[in-house]
Amino acid sequence: MSNPSPLSCHYLRDTYGNLTAVPAGGLSTSFSGARSGQVFLDVQWVNRTNLNGLLFLATPRSDVYSGVDAANKNLAITAFTTAVAGFIISAAISLFITRPLRTLKLMMEEARQYRFEAVKDENFLTKRSYLAEMASMQDSFAHMLSQPDASAAYVAVAGAAQPSGGVMGRSVRLL
Distance CA 158, CA 142 (A): 19
pTM above 0.75, yes or no: no
Distance CA 80, CA 78 (A): 5
State the pLDDT at residue 172. Answer: 46
| Per-residue pLDDT reduced to its tens digit, 21-57 | 888 888 888 888 777 788 888 888 888 787 888 888 8
Report residue 168's pLDDT band, with 50, 70 and 90 as the boundaries. very low
| Per-residue pLDDT reduced to its tens digit, 81-97 | 999 999 999 999 888 87
Domain range summary for the chain, segments of one domain joined by +: 4-66, 67-147
